[in-house]
Every structure is written in structure tokens, then in C-alpha cells.
A and B are shown apart, each in its own frame.
Chain A
Amino acid sequence: MSPLSQRTTPLAQRFRNLPISGAILAPLLALIVLFVISSLASEYFLNTRNLSNVLRQVSYTGIIAIGMTFVIIAGGIDLSVGSMLALVGVVVLYVLNTITDPFQAVILAMLAALVGGALLGLFNGLLVTRGRIAAFVVTLATMSIFRSLALYFTDAAEVSTRNPLFQGVGGGFVLGLPIPVWTFFALAVVSHVVLFHTAYGRHVCAVGANAQVARYSGIRVERVVLSTFLIAGVCVGLSAIMLTSRLNSVSPSDAGYFFELDAIAAVVIGGTALSGGRGTVWGTVIGALILGIINNMLNLTGVSPYLQGLVKGAVILLAVLLQYKRAP
């Protein structure tokens, strides 16, 4: 045993061990500032119902953004998530409206969402790994394909359900918080643990940081990349359950519209490098919250949604600038 390995580690070192470090300090600070500004700008902001609304609004893209975090850390990107959400949503409504027993229908619909999302994610992943096509190109194509299928299956019409139980899933509350919010936070905790406390998570980072080094270290690079797309797909399935059950319907042209950009924005604001290799789930959660609060604040103060885009863009640039400044 070397003299250096002391029995008690100094607190500072312990702190450095934590993944919550400088990387998410900037977005966290931005969130706090934004929170303060919002509570000053609108008397309604701190209203508990408003806060719970914001969290619920955030959770749909937030859940997807967590899946996206895995994909981006592993060096990929998934542009298809928004369209995938619409397609999975259509499948969910189809299952709901086909099965007569309402309880069975809800269970099977949720299962179908998760399995459907996983399969579509797998499809993306296989094209990237086996097909050796850049993730950007693959998911650009499947973005178009998934949306088109969703429109085709429904003749572009909205589908709703009369299932009496379904709305309780995404519209329900547990301990005062909406179920989608619990789902979002639970997913964040699980994902954080997976990303930072399991060998798999380390491998995801390694593949994104330098795939060649990972290959020489015996990591099954393709399998890891494939799995991140699968995770993104499952997250989309989860989000589809929450969104379609909250709305009790799905609009194939509208569901998940621009979700991919919101998800990517949340990931980037959260300090995850778009080039892969490093990033945090907490950062993504914070990024999603920042975007949600911006939308909410601008709505509460009555600012045009056209300007919401401007503010959103400005925040993304600011976040990336801060990260750039931090790099040595």
C-alpha cells in the first residue's frame, strides 16, 4: 500500500470525485438567475400550479433530452426523435382504440410505446453502426420517414381515444406533482447512475471521446453506439406515453414538432459537448428547465412566441460561449 492512499480523503477531493463539478456550474447559475428574473417579472411565476405546469411542460422534451444525452455523449446525434414521437404516439392510440378492455388497453399501449420506441431507435442505431452512415444523415432521413408514416397511418388526421383510464397516466398527479414530472426526474436519476456509476456509462463516454482508443481498449464500440440509439428510442416511447395521455390524443403532423431541436438545445445548454465524450444528465435536466422557464416566463408576460425563439437561441449561444471560455 502506498503512503499516498490515505484512509480519509480530503473533502475537496471527494467533491472533485462527484460528477457535479464545474461543468454544470454555468448552466446551474443561469437557471438560478433565470428563476429569480422570472419570479420578479411575473407575480404568477412562483404560483405552485405554475411551477408544476412548467415542470410538466418541460418533462416531455426533457425525457427525450435525457435519451439524447446518451446519444450525443457517444458521439452521435438523433434528429428523428420528434417524428419518432409522433409515430409512436400513433401506435399508442391505435392499440388503445383496438383493445376493448380499458385497463388492458392502457397497459398494452404503454408497452407498445416502449417497444415501438426501442425498435425505431434500434433501426436508427443499426443504420449508423452496420450501415456505416453518419448519425446526422441517418436520423435526418428517418426524421422524414417516421413523420411520413405517422401521417400515412392516420391520413394526417388527429386521433383521440375514449379510453377512460388513459388520461390518468399523463394527466394524473402523485403527491402533488404531475406523473410526467415524476417520470422525468426518476429517469434522470437512473440515467445519471447509469452514466457515471456503471461500466456501461464509462464506455459511452469513452466511445464518444475517442472511438479508436475505446476499440483498442476492447470496448465493443458499435454495440455501445447502437445501445445509445436504443435508449433514445425508449425515452421517446416514454415521452410519447406521457404526452399522448396528457392530451388523450395524438396529432401526427404536430406531435413532437421541433422536439429534436429542443432536446438538443437542452443537452447543449447543459454543458454536454456536441462532439461527444463528456456531459452530464443533470446538465441536461437543467438545460430543459431553462428552456421551459423561458417559454413560461414569456407566456406569462405575454411576449410573442416568435421572440421566444430569439431568447432561446440567445441562451444556447450564451451557454456554449461560457463552456468555450471554461476550456483551457
Chain B
Amino acid sequence: MAEPLLRLEGIGKSFGPVTVLEGITLDIAQGEVLGVLGENGAGKSTLLKIISGIYTPSTGRILIDGQPFAALDPIGARRLGIAMIPQEFNLVASLKVYENVFLGQELRRGGFLDHARMREQTRKLLDSLEVHLDPNQTIERLSVAQKQMVEVARVLVNDARIVILDEPTTVLTSHETAVLFRVVKALVARGVTVLFISHKLKEVRELCDRLLILRDGQLVEHCAVAGMNEEAMARKMVGRELSRIFPDKPEAPVTRGTPALEVRGLCLTNVLHDIDFAVHRGEVLGLAGLVGAGRTEIAETLMGLRRRSAGEILVDGEPVAFTSPRQAHARGLAYLSEDRQGKGLQLSFNVMQNVTDLSLARYVRGLIRHGQERRRAEEYQARLSIKAAHLTAPVGLLSGGNQQKVYFAKLLDIEPEILLLDEPTRGIDISAKQQIYRLIRELTAQGKAVVVISSELEEIIGLADRTLVIRQGRVAATLEGDDINEECIMLYAAGAWEAGTEPATAHEPSQGARP
């Protein structure tokens, strides 16, 4: 076997007394796609930061082309051809695509920038990736997926040999994910090694050659992907049998009587058109659809964050007209935004302050009773098993899964009757996901009504009693029971089927892979 491109020997990392990574030894070959799996806190990002030179390992060494390094620094790593594509892109929004691609290493001719050549090379690069993108576009006009492609192109200009993709598909639709995968394959064809981090086991199975699973800072598996199924991967990650990720649905969900929340003919100028639905106590209603179909807008309109242009909203049969989330909270509605960090949590606030963010009035008797706040936060910490060193530490320091649990605690603390959950498990690991799914079922068992908006089909299928498929701001279909399957959802979501027209034959789903 040829010499490995990258070899790790006994890499470990400690922060003070805490060991987060221990004895990692592995080889990575040129042109390999290595999937890196692990729960939050398993040491994935620490390992990647060591490889990309951000962290200095406490023990062990790194060999690149057989040349040993005790540690890399970010600039050195870059020079050796290691490039990381972060979740938050480092692009200058006001500059054009080609300007970003060549940022910091602009091509010059006679002291002046050679725009034509940079444009041309960018076009060639993008073509080689089979991405159709105008190099003259400004970044701020691009979609998230297109920005990602610009990052990839930029990495290639740097002659990167190892590209690290950190949860690249979290923000992508399934179609965009397919494009990304094509690009990754194009990279591999050029001899580039790709490290692919994802929570989505299915994607790892589809894309990767080999697999690295970390748990509690240790390597638990390094093997070929072929022959591993998703369940086996999940088991290795979690280190115990996952009974089943999704809890059982109730036998017969209650859909009679006055719905907890009913929406009639809801419109939002240019975004939503004539949305009708109802959700009953004890029921999980799924809202499926492509990114941008208008699902988040439905939730935000219900919460009074957007001004509806027509239609009626009824809570327990009474019409309501909220102009602020405050009023919605008072009537028992709570909304979990898909943008946890931008709209959900105050990252600089501590756990207690975030938990009582909506319910603060309950802790005020003249002045805020901090002790009571703390006790309540501790209760949630135990109930939702939130892993936080200090309740007084900023939540920004917690892992994604724990942040999400704090976010849930924040909603639960106003004892809501109707929960609107927008991407409730985005960017969190599998055991946190499982806990959240159980929590949702507990809530419905207590007689709450839950609306789940999700772009992960599995989640809709595993969780929802009924599902609305939203397409271009309209309800494309209402699915129940066995009709809630990938095929139906995708075909309605993509517009291949229209509501009311039952197809004669079942089609293969056009997008997304099947297990």
C-alpha cells in the first residue's frame, strides 16, 4: 500500500484536567472520503481542529506525506494543503464570487488586479465541479448552498489536498445535498481527500469510503463503510443499543372535538396562500416541505411575528389576533425557531437566564428571585439531562444538543399548550435527538398539541400523527397513517403530485436516498 497522505499517531488532547481526545491513531489515504461520526462532545471537532492546526495536540504526532509534525499551525496546515470549510462561511458578502475565490491571493498583472483571468479561472473551477454559478455574482445574492460551492472553489485555488467539511448538509435541501455530493465526488476524482462530518448517517453511508467513529474522545471504529448499516453505526456511536429512535405513536390519535389550534384561509402577502389546518390536543402535526416552502412563515405568522394578510386563527375555538409573541405566549403558544443561535437563545446569557427568558414574570415578586430561577433551571437540567458545567456559564459555551435542550426548557417554562417546533433537532447528536423525540411524545401524552416543522423526512415519518406537505406557500397535501412516507411527501413537496389527484402508480422518489 502506498504511503498514507495523513497519518495520526497517538493523538490526544486535554484541556486542563479534562481529556477530550485520547490515543487516536489512523491512516488516511489520498482520494479517500472519510466519514467522521460521533455524538456531540465525542471529540470530532477537537480532532479536526488538530488536523487543521487550530489546536495543538497534547500527545502524539501528525505525519503528512511521511513528514512528522508535533503540531501544525493554521497557516502551516493551509500550506500543506489542509483546508476546512466551516459551517459559518468566511466569505465577504459584498464582494463577487471570483473576488472571494481569489481573496488574499489575487492574480496580478503589472501590479494591477487581473480581473479577467480570475473570472475565467473561477468559471473553469466551477465548471469542473459541474456547478453553474456566475463568477460575477455578489456573495450576498447567493443561496447557502451556492456559498458553500464558492468555499469549495476557494479551497481548490489553494491546491488543497485534504478538505474538511464540517456538517455541510445541515443547511441544505435534499436537492442541494445531492449537488454537494456530486462536487465531493468531483473532488475525489481530482485526488483530493475529504473528511466529512455529519449527523446524518444515511449521508455518510452514501458518500463515504471509510468511517471513523469517536465516542468519549476515543476511537471506537475505523473501518470501511461497506457492510455497516445505519443502525450499527448509531450503536457504535452511542455505545449502547438504541432501542428505537422514535417513540411509539399512540394507537388512535384524538382528532375530534375542538382543535387546540385551527387555521382557516391564512394568507401572508406573496408567501402564504389559503392555509387551512387544525391540530388537536395529544397530536403531533408534521409540516413537511422543501426549504423555503413557507413552513417557518406559518409558525411566525401564528406567533404574531408576521402580520397576516387574510384568514383566521383560532385557539380552543376562539379567534385570536396576535401582534406580538408576548400575546401568543399568554394564550399558551410557544415557538421554537429553527435558528437557535440567531433567534432562540441569548448565547451570552447563562442557562438560568435563558430558561426564564419567557417566564420571567413568574419569578418576580417586586424583584427577580434569583434563587427560584436557579432551582427551576436545576429541575430542567435534571429532567432534560442538560450537560452544563455551571448554570451560570453562557449557553454559547454548551454543545448544540445541550443548547437545544435549554431552548426547550425556555419554552416549557411558560407551560405552553400548543408548541410550534421548527427543526427541533437541527445540528444535534442522535441521543439528544432521541431525548427530544421522547419529550415531544410526553408533551402530547399530557394533552398538549405539537406542530413539528422538519426538513428531515425521517423525523416527520417517525413523529407525526398527521402531516401537511407545504409547497410554495400552499398546503399541497394532508397525509395520515401509512401515507406519511418518503415517497408521498417528496412527490407532493416537489410538485410531482397535486393534492386530490391520486396517482395510478407509485414513483421512485426523485430525491433523497432510501435506506
Contact with B374, one of A17, A213, A214, A277 (Cβ below 8 angstroms): A17
Using Cβ atoms and an 8 Å threshold, which residues of chain B touch A213? 342-346
B306-358 residues at the A interface, CB under 8 angstroms: 324-329, 335, 337, 342-349, 353, 357-358
A199 touching B364 in the complex, CB below 8 Å, given contacts A4-B379, A218-B329, A220-B324? yes
Using Cβ atoms and an 8 Å threshold, which residues of chain B touch A3? 382
Assembled-state Cα–Cα distance A328/B383 (Å)? 29
Contact A210 B342 (CB under 8 A): yes
Contact A216 B343 (CB under 8 A): yes
Contact B348 A5 (CB under 8 A): no
> Any chain B CB within 8 A of the CB of A132?
no
Q: Chain A's nearest CB lies how many Å from the CB of B414? A: 10
> Any chain A CB within 8 A of the CB of B106?
no
A277 touching B325 in the complex, CB below 8 Å, given contacts A198-B368, A212-B342? no
Mark each residue of chain B from 385 to 416: 1 if its CB lies under 8 Å from any CB of chain A, else 0.
00000101000010000000000000000000
Contact with B364, one of A13, A198, A219 (Cβ below 8 angstroms): A198
Contact B305 A215 (CB under 8 A): yes
Q: Chain B's nearest CB lies how many Å from the CB of A179? A: 27
> Any chain A CB within 8 A of the CB of B79?
no
Q: Determine the residue in chain B with the shortest Cβ distance to A196.
A: B368
Contact with A206, one of B326, B349, B364, B379 (Cβ below 8 angstroms): B349
Q: Chain A's nearest CB lies how many Å from the CB of B468? A: 23
A197 touching B368 in the complex, CB below 8 Å, given contacts A4-B379, A5-B378, A212-B343? yes
Assembled-state Cα–Cα distance A206/B325 (Å)? 15
Assembled-state Cα–Cα distance A208/B367 (Å)? 21
Assembled-state Cα–Cα distance A220/B379 (Å)? 29
Assembled-state Cα–Cα distance A213/B378 (Å)? 23
> Any chain A CB within 8 A of the CB of B499?
no
Chain A interface category by residue count: 20 to 34
Contact A218 B370 (CB under 8 A): no
Contact A205 B349 (CB under 8 A): yes
Contact A4 B346 (CB under 8 A): no
Q: Chain A's nearest CB lies how many Å from the CB of B399? A: 15
A161-206 residues at the B interface, CB under 8 angstroms: 193, 196-199, 202, 205-206
Q: Chain A's nearest CB lies how many Å from the CB of B44? A: 20
Using Cβ atoms and an 8 Å threshold, which residues of chain B touch A210? 342, 346-348
Contact with B379, one of A5, A196, A328 (Cβ below 8 angstroms): A5
Assembled-state Cα–Cα distance A212/B382 (Å)? 29
Using Cβ atoms and an 8 Å threshold, which residues of chain A touch B343? 212-213, 216
Contact with A209, one of B348, B371, B397 (Cβ below 8 angstroms): B348
Chain B interface category by residue count: 35 or more
Contact A16 B392 (CB under 8 A): yes
> Any chain B CB within 8 A of the CB of A2?
yes
Using Cβ atoms and an 8 Å threshold, which residues of chain A touch B327? 218
B4-58 residues at the A interface, CB under 8 angstroms: none
Contact B344 A216 (CB under 8 A): yes
Q: Chain B's nearest CB lies how many Å from the CB of A151? A: 41
Using Cβ atoms and an 8 Å threshold, which residues of chain B touch A199? 360-361, 364, 368
Assembled-state Cα–Cα distance A3/B375 (Å)? 11
Assembled-state Cα–Cα distance A210/B375 (Å)? 25
A9 touching B371 in the complex, CB below 8 Å, given contacts A2-B379, A4-B382, A205-B349? yes
A1-59 residues at the B interface, CB under 8 angstroms: 1-5, 9, 13, 16-17
> Any chain A CB within 8 A of the CB of B381?
yes
Contact with A202, one of B347, B360, B381 (Cβ below 8 angstroms): B360
Mark each residue of chain A from 206 to 230: 1 if its CB lies under 8 Å from any CB of chain B, else 0.
1001101111111110000000000
Q: Determine the residue in chain B with the shortest Cβ distance to A216.
A: B343
Q: Chain B's nearest CB lies how many Å from the CB of A328? A: 7
Using Cβ atoms and an 8 Å threshold, which residues of chain A touch B347? 209-210
A1 touching B379 in the complex, CB below 8 Å, given contacts A210-B346, A216-B344? yes
Contact B360 A216 (CB under 8 A): no
Q: Chain A's nearest CB lies how many Å from the CB of B143? A: 21
Q: Determine the residue in chain B with the shortest Cβ distance to A212.
A: B343
A97-130 residues at the B interface, CB under 8 angstroms: none
> Any chain B CB within 8 A of the CB of A278?
yes
Contact B378 A216 (CB under 8 A): no
A216 touching B337 in the complex, CB below 8 Å, given contacts A5-B379, A16-B390? yes
Assembled-state Cα–Cα distance A17/B391 (Å)? 10
Contact B382 A2 (CB under 8 A): yes
Assembled-state Cα–Cα distance A213/B349 (Å)? 11
Assembled-state Cα–Cα distance A213/B364 (Å)? 21
Using Cβ atoms and an 8 Å threshold, which residues of chain A touch B379? 1-2, 4-5
Contact with A2, one of B337, B346, B383 (Cβ below 8 angstroms): B383
Q: Chain B's nearest CB lies how many Å from the CB of A202? A: 6
Q: Chain B's nearest CB lies how many Å from the CB of A316? A: 22
Q: Determine the residue in chain B with the shortest Cβ distance to A18.
A: B370
Assembled-state Cα–Cα distance A142/B471 (Å)? 50
Using Cβ atoms and an 8 Å threshold, which residues of chain B touch A193? 367
Contact A217 B371 (CB under 8 A): no
Contact with B325, one of A4, A198, A202, A217 (Cβ below 8 angstroms): A217
Contact with B358, one of A16, A17, A212, A217 (Cβ below 8 angstroms): A217
Contact with B335, one of A4, A17, A198, A216 (Cβ below 8 angstroms): A216
Contact B348 A328 (CB under 8 A): no
Using Cβ atoms and an 8 Å threshold, which residues of chain B touch A2? 378-379, 381-383
A217-256 residues at the B interface, CB under 8 angstroms: 217-220
Using Cβ atoms and an 8 Å threshold, which residues of chain B touch A196? 368
Using Cβ atoms and an 8 Å threshold, which residues of chain A touch B324? 218, 220
Contact B325 A209 (CB under 8 A): no
Q: Chain A's nearest CB lies how many Å from the CB of B362? A: 10
Q: Chain A's nearest CB lies how many Å from the CB of B442? A: 16
Using Cβ atoms and an 8 Å threshold, which residues of chain B touch A205? 346, 349
B254-278 residues at the A interface, CB under 8 angstroms: none
Q: Chain A's nearest CB lies how many Å from the CB of B355? A: 12
Most buried by A among B344, B348, B392: B348
Using Cβ atoms and an 8 Å threshold, which residues of chain A touch B337? 216
Using Cβ atoms and an 8 Å threshold, which residues of chain A touch B378? 2, 4-5
Contact B325 A216 (CB under 8 A): yes
Contact A218 B368 (CB under 8 A): no
Q: Chain A's nearest CB lies how many Å from the CB of B3? A: 39
Contact with B348, one of A17, A220, A277 (Cβ below 8 angstroms): A277
Q: Chain B's nearest CB lies how many Å from the CB of A23? A: 11
Contact B374 A328 (CB under 8 A): no
Using Cβ atoms and an 8 Å threshold, which residues of chain B touch A278? 348
Assembled-state Cα–Cα distance A328/B15 (Å)? 13
Assembled-state Cα–Cα distance A95/B383 (Å)? 62
Q: Chain B's nearest CB lies how many Å from the CB of A305? A: 38
Q: Which 7 A-B pairs have the closest CB atoms?
A: A218-B326, A218-B325, A197-B367, A2-B382, A4-B378, A5-B375, A16-B392
| A-B contacts besides A4-B379, A209-B347, A210-B348, 15 pairs, CB < 8 Å | A5-B378, A16-B392, A17-B371, A17-B374, A199-B368, A206-B357, A210-B347, A213-B345, A218-B326, A218-B358, A219-B326, A220-B324, A220-B326, A277-B346, A328-B397
21 A-B pairs with CB atoms under 8 Å apart are A4-B378, A5-B379, A9-B374, A13-B392, A17-B374, A197-B370, A202-B360, A206-B346, A209-B349, A210-B342, A212-B342, A212-B343, A213-B343, A213-B345, A216-B337, A217-B357, A218-B327, A218-B328, A218-B358, A278-B348, A328-B397
A contact residues vs B (CB 8 Å cutoff): 1-5, 9, 13, 16-17, 193, 196-199, 202, 205-206, 209-210, 212-220, 277-278, 328
